[in-house]
Structures are given as structure tokens and as C-alpha cells.
Amino acid sequence: MQPIDVVVLTKNSEHLLDKCLDSVYKNVPVKNLIVVDGFSTDRTLKIIDKANEDHGNVKVLKVNGSRATAREKGIQQVSTEWFMFVDSDVILGRDWFRKAEKNVKDNVGAVWGVNIDVVPNVKNKRILKLQSLIARQCFGLRGGMHDTLIRREAVEGIKIPEQLHAYEDAYIINWIENKGYKTVVGDDVYCLHYKPPTNWNMQNGVSQAIVEFKCGIVYSHMYEYMFLYPIFMFHWFIQLSLQGTKRVSPSQRNPKMI
């Protein structure tokens, strides 16, 4: 497969962005890195400028709107037959692209890598296995864009409802499948998801839950997803309690590439 465009959404993403982009360039043949930025006020744009100095193929588009708007604008900038969405708070697994392209067939419209939430100081294999199972179940119901390889033809003409600040990934996956393509989970394809430090508190968790409910149930009518909410909440409280009982070490504030 030829080099592909990679679309990254950012907004005050300094917490992991440099390592995210490093993993992209190490594991994906990048033609253009298309950054859709929501008017960041931290070091995000400086990190992006440094990436452009190093690689010379970065395009920045500033968008004031929801995640749905940002993804749609990013898609419109893509010029390659296949492209990727990569979230700014993930690190791609080793040989991500090489493994993902093995799943590319004529009837496949998207290949998704499992996103594994990294909880600082937690390495329990049972918890990690639970995270993987939950992530796969989520993708089966709503899709995901953390690290996804997409056929451009499968999303041509897409108009994502602006109010979908969450569940825009479900809309994209449904669009692809309605075009007659399959969406698949890649074999041994994954990313590590490092949530920002601000995510590990009760207030933010409740706020995110409200957004999830509005976008998932009220706007997207994904009623079947409601049955998994108790599992998600239980899993989130496990993560929160484990994170709260231990201090984050310097090495975990600055995770190493894998």
C-alpha cells in the first residue's frame, strides 16, 4: 500500500501529543499529517510545528466546532486512497500499519485497532484482558476512531451531525457499512490510550457520562448500548479507585514507546 494521509484531532493536547506523533511516524507511512485543531491554547501547536520541521508534511486546519465537525473537515482534506484517524492521546502499537494492511480486502471499508486504556500503576493481566474485551464489544456496537484505517471512497460525501461531540465514530462506521463495506477489528492491531490527568476525577467522569448519554441515546438512538452502561461504569470506577490509591511515577507521566 502507498503512503497514506493521517488525520489527528487536537485541542489542548500537549499531554501526549509528541509521543503520539512519534508513534505515527514510526509505524505508519505518512504522506500528509493533517491536524485539525480546535484553537489550542497550550503547547499543542508548538509540538505540531516541531513535527513539521522534522518531517515537512504537516497540514494544520483550525476548526471551531464539535468533534463531528472536526472529523468531517479532516476527511475533506484527505487525498489518498486509504487514510487513518489517530486520536492525540494514544500511542500506536509496534508495526501498526504493517499488521493492519493484512486485513485490507476489496469488501473492507475500515480496519480498527483495539484501544487499551492505560491506568497508571496498574498492570494486572485480568484488568488488561477485561479492558480489551470491553473495547472490542464497544466497537461492535458503536465503532471507534482511536486508531482506524479507512477507505476514502467509503466515506465520500459523509455529513456528520454537528451535535455529535461523541458517537461521531458510530455515525462514521454506520455510514461505511451502509455503503456495503465491512468494518473489522485488526489482528494484533492496537493502541494504548493514555487519558489526560484531568480525566481521573469524579466531576469529569460525570460530565463525560452526560455527554455520552446525550449523544448516544438522545441523538444517536443507540438504545442497545444502554445495556452495557453498568459494565462501563463498573470498569470506570475500578480504574478510578486504582488510580486514586497510587501516585503516578515520573516514567508513567512520560510513557515510553512500545
Quick one: pLDDT at residue 255?
A: 47
Which residue matches cell numbers 522534522? 54
pLDDT band at 252 (very low <50, low <70, confident <90, very high): very low
Mean local confidence (pLDDT), 38-46: 98
Chain-wide mean pLDDT for the chain? 82
**Under a CB-based contact definition with an 8 Å cutoff, are residues 158 and 175 in contact?**
yes
In sequence order, the β-bridge partners of residue 36 are 9, 61
pLDDT at 249 over 50: no
Q: What is the DSSP letter of 216?
A: I
- pLDDT tens for 109-118 read 999 998 887 8
Q: Is 147 exposed, middle or buried (0-12, 13-18, 19+ CB in 10 A)?
A: buried
List b or e across 22-50, with b for residues whose CB sees 16 or more CB atoms inside 10 angstroms: ebbbebbebbbbbbbbbebeeebbebbee
pTM across the whole model: 0.80
Return the CATH number of 4-253, one of 3.10.350.10, 3.40.30.160, 3.90.550.10, 3.90.1300.10: 3.90.550.10
- The neighbouring-strand residues paired with 110 are 150, 183
